[in-house]
Structures are given as structure tokens and as C-alpha cells.
Amino acid sequence: MSKDEATLEILTDFLNAVEAAVVNGKRQIAELARVTPLEKALGHDASVKGSPKLPFDASKIQWQDRENEKGKFQMSEDFNSPDHKALLAFLNEHVPSKRVQSEGWFYWVYPNGSTIGRKETKYLKKAK
């Protein structure tokens, strides 16, 4: 191994150690703050335990009961509902993965971009 290769190897090891320290530091800061980006977007108080309250009433959306190999869930194509539109906009604007868990429900956007699904978290626990 030449002197240049050894130097590059040492530099690479150092940079890997710095990267690991930065990732660990970010994780520790997040634990101390206990505020997720979603909670920050909602203005959620970090001192209140539990999932964030959604800024609309999901119970006003027309949901259709469905079931597949993963269990029971509901889906909505209630395009005329202001609450459906608000939930869809919220998922698209504030949640990069287009999925959120709140108030006992797990919500997601289907690939078509306009249909929303939801599943009670109690079903998620049983499925695992």
C-alpha cells in the first residue's frame, strides 16, 4: 500500500467517524426535544404525550370499509368533502412519506394521489 493510499484510508475512516457522530448527535437532540417534524408543522406541544391532533375532522369524511390480506381498513374517494381535501392537502404538504398516524388511526395516500386510506392502529398491532 502506497503512502497516498494509506492517507486516503485514514481520511475515509475519520470522515466515517465524523458522520456517525453527527447522526448520533441529531438523534440525541431529537430525543431531548421530543418534537418530530410533523408535530412541529402542526404546532404540537411537545409536553403533551400521544399523537398530534389533525387540523380537520376526519370523521366527516365518507369512508368505505374494506378488507384485504393485511386486514380491515377504510378508504375514501370523497372528493367533494372539504375535510377530505384538507386531509389530502395535509398529507401531501406536511408529510414527505404521505403517511401519518394520529388519534388512533394510520392515514395514507394511494399512488393515484387522490384516494386516502386509513386503518385503526389496534389492527396494526394485531397484524404484527
pLDDT tens, position by position, 15-54: 888 888 887 777 777 666 665 555 555 555 444 444 555 6
- Please tell me the distance from the alpha carbon of residue 64 to that of residue 72, in angstroms, as a whole number: 11
Q: CB pairs under 8 A, 24+ apart, for 69-75?
A: 70/127, 71/119, 71/123, 71/126, 71/127, 72/119, 72/120, 72/123, 73/117, 73/118, 73/119, 73/123, 74/117, 74/118, 74/119, 75/110, 75/115, 75/116, 75/117, 75/118
Q: pTM, whole model, 2 decimals?
A: 0.54
Rg (CA), the chain: 21
pLDDT at residue number 126: 54
pLDDT at residue number 81: 87
Q: Dihedral sign, CA of 22, 27, 30, 36?
A: positive
pLDDT at residue number 46: 45
Q: Is the pLDDT of residue 124 over 70?
A: no
